[in-house]
Structure 1
Amino acid sequence: MSEDDMVVRNIKPVPRDVQRTTKDYTEKSRLEGRVESYYHQPTVADIITPDPSNKLAFLKESERFRTDFASEYKEQKQNQRQEEERIRQIKLERQIDRENKHWEDVLQRQDKEVKSAMTHVTKKNDSGASYDPVTLEYRDTLDGDRLRFYDEGKEFRKEVRKLHLYKNINPNGYNPINGEPLQYSDMPIPDKPHPSQRLEEAQQQGRIKR
């Protein structure tokens, strides 16, 4: 190796004021100084040591922790009392609604009882019964027709029940006393009663239950 190859060529450093005059520095300065919506290239200093105050999650140390414990405790107590008051108010409103509904039902029942009693109030000193207590004849009214239909149905059921008992007690078909065959024809069943036209129309209209 020759001496020329071993010679180190030291480059004299360029001062900063000279560097600022170079084309590269001029171009970077021009790009950094652009305004409006141009993209700004971050500098080396911003990348290595960024400013924490520019971050979205930045929070001051004084605001990071709460130190006023008395105010915090007072706020918790106020929230607790407000919640208890809200629950108490809801219960009170529900109780008031139940009371109002109860008394409305009571008044409705009383009105129904009064109206029901008014329908049976006699006029001109007449009896409120559906029949004449002297002659025992049914009155020519809707209540009289209903009472007649009820009595006829009761008599019909009585005769049918009597015939069934007579047949079930003597299933062999003979009289146990005299030994003669039973005559079921001696116990005729009456015809099934039918409501009057006025009563049937009232039942169809729903004014009277069937």
Structure 2
Amino acid sequence: MQLYSFFNSSTSYRVRIALALKGVAYDCVPVNIRIGEQRDAQYVDGVNPGAAVPALVDGEFRLGQSLAIIDYLDAQYPQPRLIPSGSVERARVLEVADLISCDIHPVNNLRVLRYLQDVLNVTAEQKDAWYRHWIAQGMTAVERLLTRSGDAGPWCFGTQPTLADCCLVPQIANAQRMGCDLSPYPRSLAIYGHALEHPAFAAAQPQVQPDYIA
């Protein structure tokens, strides 16, 4: 199994967490999205038509999109299960995961920030303000959902990590790297701090990846 990944990509980070939690061995194939390697014809035609990371290659099977990959891993390696089978539990986990992956991440990913800067010619200050605005809106909603659940455990839901945690941890890491104020989100920060003490989450961190760039 191969994972095409970039150390600082939050979507790649999600999948690395899932693979580590399930104890699935894989070879990391670095794709440097900072210099556009994800748009190379060989990668697009042969690995991921979406011209993005991550991409999973499992034998002859190839798959892009982090949530689709984690769903595939859940089907292939059911333990530990990251997307609950119960209808209510599954819906709650997907609600948080989708809020992060569909509402927060897409407007703040590298290609959007580069478009703002290189095509629309926004200033660095305006770009940072854009990033902070969408983090504040999205994380406020995440915090509300996590608080509404009434679960005071160390993870988003229940006593074990789920897809929600796989999405939350990379998002907080990115927001911290961009200098966002996360103090209004104590529940989210508590989950993040707890997760980093878990061996699987620690092993998936950007700074310990083979393609890490200081």
TM-score relative to the length of structure 1: 0.24
TM-score relative to the length of structure 2: 0.23
- The answer to which structure, 1 or 2, has the higher relative contact order (CA under 8 A, 6+ apart) is 2
